[in-house]
């Protein structure tokens, strides 16, 4: 991909005097760039409100302090974490991972097919990141099975993949994918891609199956040279898929923005926003507020005039924004990777950095697709139904998100269902099942352990104070200094002993004998605790690492476990006895 050109914030398509590309930054906010002083002066009437925003000042103070009142998150019904908005997760809330890491496992010179299963996929971020990082020398077939039970997720994943597969112009496809994925309003060209290139493919299927029962499961394989996408849906879902490419009747861009900002800027949620902004840098506060205002994933100074079409993959009705008010594209990507991406002269433009990071990543994804023999298979079934739709002893990697958390499927049922699908050690000793535990630590911590994290004499607090030194002791639980410490405390705390207790309670050690899989002694795909502090106070880069993790809203207690197959009893069983054993294993889920 060509080296990005960073636009002048004053540039318009009809500009005559503007040189289009920014070389100089606004020295006050570092959020926009200009080609010269004339454009900066001309743009000041537009930029002034953002540049001088109170959010951008070091002295900014949350409203609950200015108004001398208890903030709304104190004493709410969910320990200060009450959610607001519709509970859809169209964007990932944990940074994307490359599930292959081929160089650290099979090796960059691996010469066998790769088969990947994302059994509870959420959005495409892990798929995109994984394929984008396959070594360019790899020439074998790649099969990617992607499942989610939510039609909103599956429909958007199918549409994004179809854009990738049908587009002839790679540069145009990159921006179209980014905006359909993340922007609440899209350009006319993006809508035309959906309605003129993607919709006819789906319409042809719907026409052929129009007389089938609503619950009948029907499959269609779309082939594009050596690449293909096989979509397996119930008839009702095929019909629904058409709706993700049409703007709801009467929904204008202005109305769509009103609907979204009624959630993202709700007055009742002001204290929750301000709590998060306490741990952001001043410029990030301004940028994050702008994204809540317009919902466009663009550099801060990029022109927005073209974005006039409500994104139909997000707006399924004319009166609902489908996500929580806190949903943010930044949450799905590595804070370090994003911050390390250049945004040109506008060095503080965090969404510009994300935009250019995604541009490079999606471009790499499309470039790999053009060279690989890739077969995508999309399913929309409950997690427990996945084994009925895919091959056993087949997958090089299986990623299951956090369905193994106790409140969902649970670790024993997850492993019992997924392990038989994983390639055995004789086929591929590097085949790995990846499970994520987002809730194990908070669910297992005792009240004493929770208090110990914030104890002024505890190890975690002593470490925290080296990153967040206090000029004075907080006077109340809603003192900004105390709130900031509470927000950041989980990043520096250690949780190994808590997760060890969780594993004992959940009988992880019995997995190998009962299910033929074992925890890998050494992780080779993703770290056990990827979002905990690695550096010690005083080490070079430690403060920057701490700031990234806190600003990225990562708790530090997300734990990954990698599993490998050993001896599978399924391979030794046949007939009804083997079937009964597997069914009993699938229902096993130990509790406290």
Question: pLDDT tens, 126-185?
Answer: 999 999 999 999 999 999 999 999 999 999 999 999 999 999 999 999 999 999 999 999
Number of domains in the chain: 2
Residue 489 tokens, joined? 């405390």
Same domain, residue pair 235 and 287:
yes
What DSSP line would sit under 538-564, residue for residue?
A: TSTTHHHHHHHHHHTT--S--EEEEEE
DSSP state, 522?
Answer: S
Q: How confident is the model at residue 585 (pLDDT cuts 50, 70, 90)?
A: very low
243 and 317 in contact (C-beta within 8 Å)?
no
Start-end of H helices in 320-458:
335-339, 350-371, 411-418, 440-444, 447-453
Q: How confident is the model at residue 487 (pLDDT cuts 50, 70, 90)?
A: confident
265 has pLDDT over 60: yes
Same domain, residue pair 109 and 229:
yes
* Nearest in space to 478 (alpha carbons), one of 58, 78, 77, 76: 76
511 and 479 in contact (C-beta within 8 Å)?
no
Reduced 3-state DSSP string for 361-400: HHHHHHHHHHHCCEEEEEECCCHHHHHHCCCCCCECEEEC
Quick: pLDDT tens for 8-60: 999 988 888 899 999 999 999 999 999 999 999 999 999 999 999 999 999 99
Q: How confident is the model at residue 586 (pLDDT cuts 50, 70, 90)?
A: very low
222 and 165 in contact (C-beta within 8 Å)?
yes
Residue 461 tokens, joined? 């607090």
- Helix axis angle for 235-243 and 199-208, nearest 10°, is 150
Please state, as a whole number, how many other Cβ atoms lie within 10 Å of the Cβ of residue 13.
8
Residue 13 lies inside a defined structural domain of this protein: no
Same domain, residue pair 364 and 459:
no
Domain span at residue 523?
Answer: 440-586
Residue 541 lies inside a defined structural domain of this protein: yes
- Beta pairing partners, 516: none
Same domain, residue pair 291 and 338:
yes
Segment among 68-82, 206-220, 244-258 with least mean pLDDT? 68-82
Please state, as a whole number, how many other Cβ atoms lie within 10 Å of the Cβ of residue 427.
13
Same domain, residue pair 463 and 341:
no
122 and 332 in contact (C-beta within 8 Å)?
no
Q: How confident is the model at residue 81 (pLDDT cuts 50, 70, 90)?
A: low
Same domain, residue pair 222 and 343:
yes
Quick: pLDDT tens for 124-135: 999 999 999 999
* Residues sharing a CB contact under 8 Å with residue 481, sequence separation 6 or more, in sequence order: 470, 472, 474
What pLDDT sits at residue 575?
A: 40
CA 400 from chain centre, in angstroms, equals 14
Percent of the chain with pLDDT over 70: 94
Residue 237 lies inside a defined structural domain of this protein: yes
471 has pLDDT over 80: no
Residue 431 lies inside a defined structural domain of this protein: no
Which of 401, 430, 455 lies at the terminal end of a domain, its last residue?
Answer: 401
Same domain, residue pair 373 and 470:
no
Residue 48 lies inside a defined structural domain of this protein: no
Same domain, residue pair 383 and 472:
no
Kindly report the pTM of this predicted structure. 0.93
312/185 Cα distance (integer angstroms) = 9
Which of 381, 401, 421 lies at the terminal end of a domain, its last residue?
Answer: 401
Same domain, residue pair 136 and 213:
yes
Same domain, residue pair 394 and 476:
no
What pLDDT sits at residue 583?
A: 47
Residue 385 lies inside a defined structural domain of this protein: yes
590 and 416 in contact (C-beta within 8 Å)?
no
Same domain, residue pair 396 and 456:
no
What pLDDT sits at residue 2?
A: 66
Phi/psi of residue 519, each to 5°?
-65, 135
Same domain, residue pair 276 and 158:
yes
Which of 350, 385, 401 lies at the terminal end of a domain, its last residue?
Answer: 401
Residue 165 tokens, joined? 């597969």
Residue 29 lies inside a defined structural domain of this protein: no
Residue 37 lies inside a defined structural domain of this protein: no
Quick: pLDDT tens for 291-306: 999 999 999 999 999 9
């Amino acid at each position: 991909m060509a080296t990005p050109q960073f636009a002048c914030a004053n540039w318009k398509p009809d500009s005559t005097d503007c040189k289009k590309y920014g070389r100089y930054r606004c020295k006050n906010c570092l959020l926009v760039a200009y080609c010269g002083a004339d454009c900066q002066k001309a743009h000041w009437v537009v930029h002034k409100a953002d540049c001088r925003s109170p959010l951008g000042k070091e002295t900014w103070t949350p409203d609950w302090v200015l108004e001398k009142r208890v903030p709304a998150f104190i004493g709410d019904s969910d320990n200060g974490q009450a959610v607001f908005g519709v509970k859809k997760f169209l964007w990932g809330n944990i940074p994307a991972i490359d599930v292959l890491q081929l160089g650290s496992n099979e090796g960059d010179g691996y010469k066998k097919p790769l088969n990947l299963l994302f059994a509870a996929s959420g959005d495409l971020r892990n798929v995109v990141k994984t394929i984008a990082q396959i070594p360019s020398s790899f020439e074998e077939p790649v099969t990617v099975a992607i499942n989610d039970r939510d039609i909103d997720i599956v429909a958007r994943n199918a549409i994004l993949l179809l854009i990738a597969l049908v587009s002839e112009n790679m540069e145009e496809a990159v921006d179209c994918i980014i905006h359909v994925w993340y922007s609440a309003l899209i350009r006319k060209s993006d809508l035309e891609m959906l309605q003129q290139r993607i919709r006819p493919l789906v319409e042809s299927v719907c026409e052929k199956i129009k007389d089938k029962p609503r619950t009948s499961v029907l499959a269609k394989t779309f082939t594009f040279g050596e690449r293909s996408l096989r979509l397996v849906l119930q008839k009702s879902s095929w019909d629904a898929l058409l709706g993700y490419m049409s703007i709801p009747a009467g929904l204008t861009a202005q109305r769509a923005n009103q609907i979204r900002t009624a959630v993202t800027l709700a007055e009742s949620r002001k204290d929750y926003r301000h709590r998060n902004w306490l741990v952001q840098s001043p410029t990030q506060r301004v940028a994050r507020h702008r994204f809540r205002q317009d919902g466009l994933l663009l550099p801060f100074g990029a022109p927005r005039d073209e974005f006039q079409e409500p994104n139909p993959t997000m707006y399924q009705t004319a009166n609902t924004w489908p996500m929580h008010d806190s949903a943010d594209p930044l949450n799905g990507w590595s804070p370090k990777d994003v911050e390390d991406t250049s945004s040109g002269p506008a060095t503080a433009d965090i969404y510009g950095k994300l935009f250019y990071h995604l541009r490079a990543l999606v471009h790499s994804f499309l470039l790999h697709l053009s060279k690989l023999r890739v077969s995508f298979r999309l399913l929309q079934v409950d997690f427990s139904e996945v084994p009925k739709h895919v091959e056993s002893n087949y997958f090089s990697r299986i990623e299951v998100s956090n369905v193994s958390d106790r409140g969902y499927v649970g670790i024993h049922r997850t492993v019992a269902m997924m392990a038989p699908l994983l390639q055995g050690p004789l086929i591929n000793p590097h085949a790995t099942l990846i499970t994520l535990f987002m809730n194990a630590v908070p669910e297992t911590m005792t009240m004493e352990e929770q208090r110990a994290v914030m104890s002024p004499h505890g190890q975690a607090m002593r470490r925290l104070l080296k990153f967040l030194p206090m000029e004075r002791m907080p006077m109340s639980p809603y003192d900004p200094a105390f709130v900031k410490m509470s927000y950041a405390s989980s990043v520096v705390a250690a949780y190994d002993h808590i997760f060890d207790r969780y594993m004992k309670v959940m009988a992880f050690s019995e997995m190998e004998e009962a299910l033929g899989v074992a925890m890998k002694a050494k992780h080779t795909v993703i770290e056990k605790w990827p979002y905990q502090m690695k550096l010690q106070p005083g080490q070079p880069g430690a403060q920057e690492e701490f700031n990234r993790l806190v600003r990225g809203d990562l708790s530090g207690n997300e734990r990954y476990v990698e599993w490998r197959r050993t001896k599978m009893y399924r391979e030794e069983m046949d007939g009804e006895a083997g079937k009964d054993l597997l069914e009993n294993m699938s229902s096993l889920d130990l509790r406290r």
